[in-house]
Structure 1
Amino acid sequence: MDKKTKVVYREIQRPQQVWLWVLILLEAAYMWYWFIQQIIFGVPIGNNPAPDLVTIIFWILFGVALPVLMLGVLKLIIEVRIDGLYVRLFPLHIQYKQYLFKEISNYETLTYSPLKRFGGLGIRFNAKGETAYNLNGKKGIELRLKHNKVVIGTQKPDELKKAIDSVLKVQ
């Protein structure tokens, strides 16, 4: 690894909200029920049942793919490297989104409400032009850039700030 890609700090977050797990698993259970009743047993669901092809497509999308992606694959990766802060919401981001230290005018830890400030979790934008990357909790680090702010949700805000401080102290 060259010095620009050396990882000083790394945090990986996965969805941990019980309500999210319950919601996704209930939805998946219903899709499996619908699929088994209509496709396996030949008993259509409802007064105006969907065609078998639609049932199979919905089962694949919402009974298999969504639970696997949301509960098994989805993760927020935060890295502090020598040249900046790197964020990736896998599998939505193919590459890391980089915030170079030379572009950051200030940064600080904060406690905030993702729902009030950004309308929820994930990759979010608000009316003030701010961007958020968050999967869990209310703690994060706010980066002040030249033209906007970026909030990165973290489970370890003090450790993340210390990692940034240590890299900037060396430079």
Structure 2
Amino acid sequence: MDNEILFKERQRFKQWWLWLALLGVNSLFLFGVFKQVIGGRQFGDKPMSNSGLLIASGITLIVMIVFINFKMETMIKKDGIYVRFFPFHLKFKFYAWDTLTKSYVRPYSPIAEYGGWGLRKGLLGSGTAYNISGNQGLQLEIKNSEKLLIGTAKPQQMAELLKKLGQEKL
């Protein structure tokens, strides 16, 4: 195959503190629904209306379902780099090698450079970042001066492949 997948990575949010916070908020609202809507006793000193409690519970459940479905996929093929951060990107974004002025793996500071993890706009001209966790990423600079950092949990493997393909551009 001419355009076989040479590198593939799929990442999901696995931070325990994030899931603990989401479960805690959902549990609190679901407990309120069972106590007030089903049990008929008010939940708290200044309770919400039943419909407000149901709506708030629904919203927190939807947020949790969205987080469960977040995933970032990165592929490197002979023709370039493909990346998708679902559900923000339904199709892969493609970056051809000949459109890149720089491509290399580097350490970065998610909070200092991009304000955290996720789909982020960088601070002070560092561009855009797609990252799930960690502090290693594939830095791309595109001929139109756009910068993109793609987080990776496999920095060594990615760097070796870039060198092998002759596409490590510093």
Band the TM-score falls in, shorter-chain normalisation: 0.7 to 0.9
Q: Secondary structure of the equivalent of 2:112?
A: helix
**1:167, distance to aligned residue in structure 2 (A):** 4.2
The corresponding residue for 1:25 is 23
**1:125, distance to aligned residue in structure 2 (A):** 0.6
The corresponding residue for 2:93 is 97
Alignment of 1:106-145 (within 5 A): 106-127=102-123, 128=125, 130-145=127-142
One-letter code of the match for 1:91? P
Query: Number of matched residues?
Result: 165
**1:166, distance to aligned residue in structure 2 (A):** 3.8
Partners of 1:34 and 1:164 lie apart in 2 by 53
Contact 1:39 1:52 in 2 (8 A): yes
Can you list the C-alpha shifts for 1:20-53, whole angstroms capped at 9, x where unaligned?
1111111111121122122111223234432222
The verdict on how the C-alpha distance between 1:124 and 1:73 changes in structure 2, with shifts beyond 3 A counting, is same
Q: Secondary structure of the equivalent of 1:78?
A: strand
Partners of 2:95 and 2:121 lie apart in 1 by 16
1:84 and 2:80 aligned: yes
TM, length-normalised to structure 2:
0.87
One-letter code of the match for 1:94? L
The corresponding residue for 1:54 is 52
Instruction: Please list every run of 5 or more consecutive structure 1 residues that lacks an aligned counterpart in the other structure.
Output: none
Contact 2:102 2:142 in 1 (8 A): yes
Instruction: Please list every run of 5 or more consecutive structure 2 residues that lacks an aligned counterpart in the other structure.
Output: none
| Mean Cα deviation higher: 159-168 or 114-123 | 159-168
Q: Secondary structure of the equivalent of 2:160?
A: helix
One-letter code of the match for 2:62? A
**1:68, distance to aligned residue in structure 2 (A):** 2.5
Can you list the C-alpha shifts for 1:137-160, whole angstroms capped at 9, x where unaligned?
011111121212211110001212
Contact 1:118 1:124 in 2 (8 A): yes
One-letter code of the match for 1:17? Q
One-letter code of the match for 1:83? D
Root mean square deviation of aligned Cα = 1.9
- Quick one: percent identity of the two aligned structures? 28
Can you list the C-alpha shifts for 1:83-104, whole angstroms capped at 9, x where unaligned?
2111111122111122221111
Partners of 1:46 and 1:69 lie apart in 2 by 28
**1:168, distance to aligned residue in structure 2 (A):** 4.7
Q: Secondary structure of the equivalent of 2:88?
A: coil
The corresponding residue for 1:67 is 64
**1:66, distance to aligned residue in structure 2 (A):** 2.0
